[in-house]
Every structure is written in structure tokens, then in C-alpha cells.
Amino acid sequence: MSVSRRTFLGLSMAALPAWGQVRPALRYLQPGDAGYEEARQPFNSIILLRPGRIACCRTEADVIAAVRHAKEAGLPVAIKSGGHDFHGFSLNDGGLLVELSGMAARALDAKTGHFTAGPGLKLRDCYSALIPRGRFLPAGSCGGVGLSGLTLGGGYGLFSREFGLTCDHLLSVRLVDGQGEVRDSRDEPELLWACRGGGNGNFGIVTSFTFETRAAPPTLASRKFVAKGLDARGLARCMERWFEIAAALPEPCFSAVILNGSQATVLLTSTKSADGPAFVTASKALLQAGFTSKGPLTRPFARALVTYEGRPGPLPFDNVSAGYYRGHDDLKSAAAGICETVRATPGLIFQVNTLGGAIARGPDSAYPHREFPFLGELQAYWEKGAIPAKLAAGHASVRAALEAAGIRRHYRNYPDPRLADWQTAYFPGTYERLQKLKATLDPDDRFRHPQSVRLPGN
């Protein structure tokens, strides 16, 4: 056990109640208890895993107590913050769930611009805490996504090319390890390295994150381009042209191409003016490529972010990483087949987003994909029940096409439980170092899910 200047007998000073205050006891919920279903519910409604007990934590001391309880009872521990994991890696069947939505404290230090957040904070609350005070943290767009899971797996969004990933803004974390001891990355820099992209449910429970923030841009310019009624070749042509246009964008711009049925949609955003030369050049090129558009919109920054909040859940879906690319060439052999499948499969969406820019210059970290300027995502949505057979077949066919094209690098925050070699896909070059930290922080493998970092030798 490491006893640092910030921990004493395994309890941090921050975790202790103020003198004279009585802290309400940690609540454990079991199936059938009021509140159990709500605490369990993940964003993806097809996940039916049911923990045997849920510890609804409100303080770091609760988290310590919950982990010690799991150790005594020999239970595996799952960790749930925002609950947006694509495939339920924040739940388990019959074990203990540490549920953190009640730990959503936030504090901005006006002098340093440093922002300290509890693990239960959602992106929408992060933005609303910062932007009115002129600051912001570059993160993802969907308001309900947890800042915890997003940061611990990387965290990209409309502003990553200009400022870097969310995890690149991380300055320190506090974490309760597998023995129920508090660790602080200010004493253990390896923990910070790991939590920048390699920390999802692997070593312990992060109870506090401190980030550096950026000056909030005053406005966000955006423009949507649509091409409808396309056949598979038309979709493929639009995507190829988009790769060329997107590769030339300056760092304040983000873009995504979304293929859905017979339609290709392109989103273009910029923290600079829509009248600027780069935005205008890209817009002209997209119009020449056959897209139509109603024109650009420039909105106050906070209001613009709200429009990207996404659909409320829970809802059924099967989304996975479709891999990292250097450019269209990486997808060339697969593109025609992917477009044919998407064209023929209702509910299947193939999307590519821009990365690059400041991400490539980020700090040394467990996130190992900095050289890739594009990230793909394969999405499947349906109304209710199990995934329709045709949609499942289309999904499998696109995954097979990507595999055959040699696309083997994947984003940890878009996990795919079917990936055989997920260690190398998510953490090429950093996995063994993560395993060493696992051995130090969680030698009993208390924290585990289907793709959690294994102990060395496993």
C-alpha cells in the first residue's frame, strides 16, 4: 500500500465528513428494491446484465467502503458513471456495481482555470458549469455521456483537432484501487499516463478528475450538406471526395461523413467564422461534389452545443469502432462493399470523423492512435427487441470487410466485444505497460469486464 501525503489509513482527508456532520450510510440496492432498475439502467437498452448489489455512492468514502465490501465478499466490481458504454462494460451479472451518478460535484478554479469534477458528471453539466464562466473542456457532443468513461478512453469531439482529446486535458486523478486504498496521480504519475485513454474499468474507481480548461469560443459555425437518392457507387464517390476535402481542413474545423441508406450527410463545423477561407473552400468543394445545403449557421457557443446533444435513451443499438484510417486509401478495398451493404440495410450507418491536428501533438499517454487523422464508427439502430436479422447480417458484413481491408486499430470508447485481438486493437504498444499497472493497483482483478486489462501473463 502506498501511504502518500494525501492519504492516511487508506482514507483521504477529502473523503472524511466535516467535523460534526453525520454522513448518511452507503445504500446497497438489490434486485426488487426501489431505485434498483434506475441505478442499473444503461443507455443501451439491450444490455440485460443484473448486478447482485448496487452501491449508490455519494462520496469517496462510500467508494472505499464499497470496494472493501466487495473484497470481503469476494465479488467482482463493475463501475458505472454515465452508463453510455456501448456494450454494457459498466455492468456485471451477480457482482457488485459501484454506481457513481450521485458524485457529480464540480468546481472551477477561476485563477488557474483548473476544473475538478466528480465521476458522475455528465457532459451537458460539464458544459453548463464552464461555458457561462467563459471556459470549456473539449469533449464529446452527447449531453448524457459520462465525463468519466469518455475521458478514461480518450474523448474526442468537435474541438479535438484544435485543442486535443479530453484525456489530454487531464491534470490529475484520485482513484480507489482494488484494496480500497486511495491513489493520487500527483504521487503516481503512471496513473495519470494510464487514465489518459487506458483507464476504463481496469485498475480502480476514479473518484475525482482535475482538468485544465480552455477559453470558450464565442460562437460555433456549422453547415450540413446532404446528397440524397444515391446508389452504392454514389455513396462511395461522396465518401471518397469527403476524405479529400476533410484532409485539407484547418484545426478549428471538424467534419464527419454519415452514410445511411441512400443518403450521404456531411457535417462541417468551425470555431472560427463560416465566412473564413477554409470553411468557404470546403463548402464549395462539397457543393461541387453533388451535396446540397441550406447554408451555414453561426450560433452562440453554448446554444450550438445543445443541438448536438443526441437522442434521449435508453434505446437499442449495436455500435462499434469501424477503425482508424490515415486516409481513404486505407478503406479503398472495402469502400464499395461497405456502401453496398449500407445502401441495402435499413438502420445501418457508417460514419467517419476527422481527428488529427492537436491530437497528434498530445502528451505521452496510454492512448496510442495519435497519428490517425480519421476514425470510423459503425452504428445499427432499431425500434425494439432483438436486432433484426438483416441488420445483424449487414453489421457483420461491414465488420468483415474492414477486417479484410486490414483495419485493425480501434477506439477503446467504441468497443466491440467480438474483436478477437482487442488488446492490440485498442492499445498497440501500450497494453503491457497497462498490465504492469494492473498488477500494482488491482492484483486480485477485482475490476473486470469482457475487455478490461488482464493481469500480466493472462
Ligand X SMILES: Cc1cc2nc3c(=O)[nH]c(=O)nc-3n(C[C@H](O)[C@H](O)[C@H](O)COP(=O)(O)OP(=O)(O)OC[C@H]3O[C@@H](n4cnc5c(N)ncnc54)[C@H](O)[C@@H]3O)c2cc1C
Minimum CB separation from ligand X for residue 208, in Å? Answer: 9
Length of the chain, in residues: 458
Provide the β-strand partners of residue 323.
376
Min dist. Cβ of residue 198 to ligand X (A): 11
What residue ranges bind ligand X (CB under 6 A)? Answer: 43, 79-86, 89-90, 100, 119, 140-142, 145-146, 148-150, 152-157, 199-201, 205-206, 310, 413, 449
By beta-carbon proximity to ligand X, the closer residue of 84 and 241 is 84
Give the cell for residue 314: 435508453
Residue number closest to ligand X, CB atom: 149
Residue 51 CB partners (closer than 8 Å, separation 6+)? 40, 78, 91, 92, 93, 94, 95, 96, 97
Closest distance to ligand X from the beta carbon of 237 (Å):
27
Shortest separation between residue 406's beta carbon and ligand X, angstroms: 24
The residue (of 155 and 368) whose beta carbon lies closer to ligand X is 155
Closest CB 76 distance from ligand X, rounded Å: 11
To the nearest whole angstrom, how small is the minimum distance from the Cβ of residue 206 to ligand X? 4
| Burial of residue 383 (number of CB atoms within 10 Å: 0-12, 13-18, 19+) | exposed
Query: How far is the C-alpha of 294 from the C-alpha of 263, rounded, in Å?
Result: 16
155 vs 376 by CB, closer to ligand X: 155
CA pair distance 197, 277, nearest whole angstrom:
34
Judged by beta carbon, residue 205 or residue 349, the one nearer ligand X is 205
Which three three-digit cell numbers place residue 130? 464552464
In the complex with ligand X, which residue's Cβ is closer, 417 or 428? 417
Query: Would you say 92 or 283 has its CB closer to ligand X?
Result: 92
Whichever of 84 and 214 has its CB closer to ligand X, that residue is: 84
Q: CB 218 → ligand X: shortest distance, Å?
A: 22
Minimal CA–CA distance to 14: which of 186, 137, 213? 186
b/e code 33-46 from CB counts within 10 Å (16+ = b): eeebeebbebbbeb
**If you ran DSSP here, which 8-state letter would residue 447 be given?**
B
- The distance from CA 367 to its chain's CA centroid, rounded to whole angstroms, is 12
Q: Which is nearer to ligand X, 100 or 137 (CB)?
A: 100
Q: In whole angstroms, what is the distance from residue 382 CA to residue 235 CA?
A: 22
Q: What's the closest the beta carbon of residue 305 comes to ligand X, in angstroms?
A: 11
Mapping DSSP to helix (H, G, I), strand (E, B) and coil, where does residue 3 land?
A: coil
User: What letter does residue 57 receive in the DSSP assignment?
Assistant: -
On the CB side of 88, CA atoms within 13 Å amount to 18
